[in-house]
Structure 1
């Protein structure tokens, strides 16, 4: 049967329609090209997610509804953009960004230096919620968290405009983070919790949330009385300071020599990418059915692989994709007491592991490790994180005292000095709390709330915390230059040479690893010897030895 005229017409129009791209001018998705990418995305103070696509790609067409929905939900908070890699003028950009298949999603976050953003591949689910959540997690936080103890010092810093959000919540919202980005370096934005009564009373705050503008220059504070929406809030704050323009004003054109060099690089990337793209399109055309059929989003969870992915690229700054090193393990009761359960220990985050690790256990350790590694890499002081194996005797006592299940991973924040603890609310043992999913965002929010003192705490049962004076001193650790030395490891040659010089001539020495039980026995003998030595000094006659 021959196709009807209307069908033939639609088939003929399809290529030209797709050539214009998937997202029109009325779409919530921002269409970006090779010329506007730097100004709109790379130089922006805002976080962006960018889809690199080809209009003929079936997976890209399936992603479109969810991507547009994510763009609508992120309006005013972050940028949701798309680049048509099938357009000739965009091929250098797609090549330079390392695009090897469609669709490819990349999250672009402002870097420490302007114009040098951090770029990471988005590998999550292809749903609107998952995309939006991932972007929100990466919105920079320029909001200052204030308490009764420091709000006056912050208020009196300089004479520039400031703004405070008084809230019943301890966590900074994406909305306030986005507003702080708009006013970065021109107005200081802070948040104060309703429980900080001194600050609340000082500004006569009567309802929550309340936004207060401190204009500076001797002017009186002004309360905002409109909707808690971004546009009217920004307009209100703009009476004291102008927000940063976004996109930034266009800069002067680069010098001719630089432009010529960039053009050469772009031409090379474009040529290589064109070959990969053409091969990809040909491959998809051979395997695609004659008419478009519905595909589930699960099938589109991975980008279509390019048959010829070799692209000569000028790589952007990428977030390392290697997994974070696991958090430190405390194998025995003594190490737990020395680090966390003594009268001088600060706050610790503990992961109590079950005898048989489940997927939930692995996820908890992985997430805590990622958080710890992120803060450690940024040189931010945070609580120490530890994992406690089920063989740790004090971990078993901790579970018993806190009435925790032995079969599930449990996350506990505790403070030995102040003798309090707090459970992560995914635990079935904390029914008074609303259950939280085990995600990096929810865990970071929980940790941040503990750090700011926003969560109620329970007293630690007696018998868990020991006086620090009763603990033996931790053994001095010798840095061998290569980490811990285990069976088959090579000990640092310089260290061995230094030790050999201190030995009598002809005498040799060897290093042997001992297990935890032997280590405990040696420490016990050391403590016993110290007691006997003290008794001898008190009861016997002292004498000097040469």
Structure 2
């Protein structure tokens, strides 16, 4: 056996050489981390097809900003446990580089929120808020879809009688907002158990169930079964277990349908369409057989219904108008779309989305706060734009000067995303920011105009004119009578 005495200098050189060799960079997050590691193979299943909202960090292990974000991101993951998924993708891995490119990642770390949209298509939005645990949690909670039904005294009877055989669960609470916990539970039991919320102010509904303390969670199993009152803590796992006695929660992510299932669904859809087409024909033939006299058919084609186009939202171009509508101490919620005077493609899309949304609510005769177009390159609105620290070409904000808050829209300009943001404001959900006091002004009433009435050459009498609409509490001005007219001195020509 030969023994080798390694020269210390040579040993140091060998270690340095090995250190210089390229090695695979490990990811930032360990398996024990609350942050879920996602790659290109399972991204679609875990994120895109999830029933819940997710926030995804696209990072590189060597990135200093990513390393600095790690503690806050893991804290956010712990706080959002059971409510939303917090995930990360290592873009330094070769297998993930194409995915990161497809997601529009141009720097590290890049954070995006992903939530279920209509027809199974996820809604992806950039997160540009504070890189803190609280900032991330607030943003993600704001994006959790809300399937909780709000029930009042007016509709409690119809709520209970509708689909009486299916299970329902009601949270009686003193709060006006819907918590992330209840929203996440409603997602788990969507189409299985209807989740509702009733305020303590709804006297009839509370007395109907004998509610004495808040919060109280009640399960109605359906049919003639008696209601069950939950006596545990308001925690996700325990509440899900309680509700599971009436129905099982939806699997997450949803299982992939087999080809056979898809074919059978298509056949069923085709059959339904055929039945719908056949139904009018059979009804028509029955009516012909029962009628005693045949009616002459007309060759005139049915009149086409005119296509209704949403009118554009009104524009505010001066500071006084902006103060009068939205920035005084009595002003309620306004939505302002800050766009350049010369509209680009993005501005046109955002304004169209808002116009169609306002038109939709107007046709349904639903009350909705006003939307306004504001040009941020105008001196009148420039101070507002800068005070709110806005910088984009197109920015949408909601402002309530009376209550002193404002909210910033941070999503992409798709109709679904904008509508969800508006709905969250209507339901008083989501984080709000304090409106700078300097932006809130007073509405200045214009003084009555004075009109000179020339009576004599060297005498002037000032008469105040009344506005077209009398002020509140003021009596209408009586019309001048002949007697009154006679009191005005006549001007005599010399």
**TM-score class, shorter:** 0.5 to 0.7
The match for 1:351 among 311, 321, 326 is 326
Cross-structure match for 1:82: 88
Residue of structure 2 in register with 1:136 after alignment: 141
Q: How does 1:439-518 map to 2 (within 5 A)?
A: 439-440=407-408, 447-448=426-427
CA distance in structure 2 between the partners assigned to 1:440 and 1:31 by the alignment: 30
Aligned-partner Cα distance in 2 for 1:14–1:444: 55
Structure 1 residue ranges without an equivalent (≥5): 255-324, 337-348, 355-362, 390-408, 413-422, 427-436, 451-463, 465-519, 525-530, 536-546
Q: Which one of the candidate residues 16, 24, 31 is aligned to 2:30?
A: 24
CA contact (8 A) 2:37 2:89 kept: yes
**SS of the counterpart of 1:113?**
helix
Residues 350 and 411, structure 1, Cα contact 8 Å, conserved in 2 = no
C-alpha change, 1:93 and 1:124, in structure 2 (3 Å) is same
1:85·1:94 contact (CA, 8 Å) conserved in 2?
A: yes
Q: Give distance in 2, aligned partners of 1:145 and 1:137.
A: 18
Distance 1:250 1:56 in 2: 36
Map 1:97-136 onto structure 2 (within 5 A). Answer: 97-114=103-120, 116-136=121-141
2:217 to 211, 214, 218: 211
| Cα drift, residue 374 of structure 1 | 9.7
Counterparts of 1:105 and 1:330, CA distance in 2 = 36
Q: State the partner residue of 2:182.
A: 176
Contact 2:168-2:193 within 8 A present in 1 as well: yes
- 1:507 is matched with none
SS in 2 for 1:383: coil
- 1:433-459 Cα offsets, whole Å, 9 max, x none, are xxxx53359998775359xxxxxxxxx
| C-alpha contact 2:313 2:372 (8 A) present in aligned 1 | no
- For the pair 1:223 / 2:211, whether they are aligned, the reply is no
Q: Distance in 2 between matches of 1:154 and 1:78?
A: 29
Q: In 1, are the aligned partners of 2:337 and 2:373 still within 8 Å (CA)?
A: no
Q: Where in structure 2 are there 5+ consecutive unaligned residues?
A: 1-8, 261-311, 339-346, 375-397, 410-420, 430-442, 444-464, 470-476, 482-494
The superposition leaves residues 329-352 of structure 1 with CA deviations (integer Å, 9 ceiling, x where unpaired) of 49899x99xxxxxxxxxxxx9513
| TM, length-normalised to structure 1 | 0.51
1:328–1:165 Cα change, 3 Å: farther
- Greater Rg by CA: 2
Provide the rounded CA distance (Å) in 1 between the counterparts of 2:153 and 2:28. Answer: 52
Change (3 A) 1:157 1:13: farther
Name the structure 2 match of 1:376.
357
Q: d(CA) in 2 for partners of 1:49 and 1:378?
A: 32
User: CA shift at 1:213, angstroms?
Assistant: 0.4
CA distance 1:443–1:45, change in 2 (3 Å): closer
Q: Is the 8 A contact 2:335 2:371 kept in 1?
A: no
1:41 aligns with 2:47: yes
Q: Is the 8 A contact 2:147 2:190 kept in 1?
A: yes
2:308 maps to none
Given that 2:50 and 2:116 are in contact with CA atoms closer than 8 Å, whether structure 1 keeps it comes out as yes
TM-score (norm 2): 0.56
**1:73 has 2:41 as partner:** no
Count of residues in Structure 1 that have an aligned counterpart in Structure 2: 325
Deviation at 1:113, TM superposition (A): 1.0
Distance in 1 of aligned mates of 2:54 and 2:22 = 29
Structure with bigger RCO (C-alpha 8 Å, 6+ apart) = 1
Counterparts of 2:145 and 2:359, CA distance in 1: 14
Aligned counterpart for 1:385 among listed residues 357, 370, 380: 370
- Superposed displacement of residue 92, structure 1: 2.2
